[in-house]
A and B are shown apart, each in its own frame.
Chain A
Amino acid sequence: EVQLVESGGGLVQPGRSLKLSCAASGFTFSNYYMAWVRQAPKKGLEWVATISTSGSRTYYPDSVKGRFTISRDNAKSSLYLQMNSLKSEDTATYYCARQRLWVSFDYWGQGVMVTVSS
C-alpha cells in the first residue's frame, strides 16, 4: 500500500524558514517523480514543486521560485521542501504527492498545515 506521510508544519513568522518532510513507503521511491501541492484555507489546489527521480531536475511555479527548494533522499525514501522567505500567502495545507509525469498526481499524503503569521 502506497503511503505518504508529511511532517514539519507549524506556525512561522513572515520572512522565516521552514522545512517539510515526506516519508514514502509501499513503492519504489526512486522510480517516481515526486511533488508538493498546496491548498490555502477554503481555496483550490496549487502545484508548488516537482523533482525528478534522481533529483537532478526540479520545477517550480513563479510564485515560489527562488524561495522554495525541493529535494529528495532516495536511500531514505524521503522528500523535502525547504521554504524560505515565507509570506502570509504561503499559508496552506501542503500535500506530498507521487507524480506520474504527463499523467497525474496519483497518490497524496494526508497533508501538513503551514501558517505564516506574526
Chain B
Amino acid sequence: DIQMTQSPASLSASLEEIVTITCQASQDIGNWLAWYQQKPGKSPQLLIYGATSLADGVPSRFSGSRSGTQYSLKISRLQVEDIGIYYCQQASSAPWTFGGGTKLELK
C-alpha cells in the first residue's frame, strides 16, 4: 500500500500569512494527488486534483505543487474561512490512501 505522510500535524498561523502543508508519498504516484479541506462539523471538500489543478469554486489563493514524491499545498494569504483540517490523498492506485491530516488554526 502507498503511505502518505503529511506534515505538520498541526499549524497555527496569522491572517494574511502564507501557509504551506506538505505530503510525502512512499512511492511514485505521478501527479495523482488530491487535497481536501474539512471545516469543523462538515464533510471534506475537494480543493486540488492532479497535484496542481484547482477544483471548481476554489479561491485562487490555494495552489498545489510537486517535487518528485513530495507534494505541497500553499495558501497564499490565510483567511478566517480557511480554518479546518487538510488532507492529501493518493489517487494512483487502490487502496486509495489519505494523509493523516493537518489541523490549521488561527494564531
Q: Which of A59, A104, A106, A108 has the most CB of B within 10 A?
A: A104
Chain B nearest CB, measured from A66 CB (Å): 15
- A-B pair count, CB < 8 Å, reads 57
Known A-B contacts A45-B87, A95-B44, A109-B43; A104 and B49 likewise in contact (beta carbons under 8 Å)? yes
Q: Which of B45, B95, B101 has the most CB of A within 10 A?
A: B95
Q: Which of B50, B96, B100 has the most CB of A within 10 A?
A: B96
Known A-B contacts A50-B94, A61-B95; A106 and B55 likewise in contact (beta carbons under 8 Å)? yes
Interface of A is mostly: strand
From A47, A101, A110, B98 is in contact (CB under 8 Å) with A47
Cα(A111)–Cα(B34), bound, Å: 20
From B36, B45, B96, A47 is in contact (CB under 8 Å) with B96
Total A residues in contact with B, Cβ cutoff 8 Å: 22
* Proximity bits, B15-49, A CB within 8 Å = 1, else 0: 00000000000000000101010000001111001
Q: Do the beta carbons of B50 and A45 come within 8 Å of each other?
A: no
Q: Do the beta carbons of A46 and B98 come within 8 Å of each other?
A: yes
- 18 A–B pairs (Cβ distance < 8 Å), ordered by A: A37-B44, A44-B99, A45-B89, A45-B98, A47-B95, A47-B98, A59-B95, A62-B95, A95-B44, A102-B92, A103-B91, A104-B46, A104-B49, A104-B55, A104-B91, A105-B46, A107-B46, A111-B43
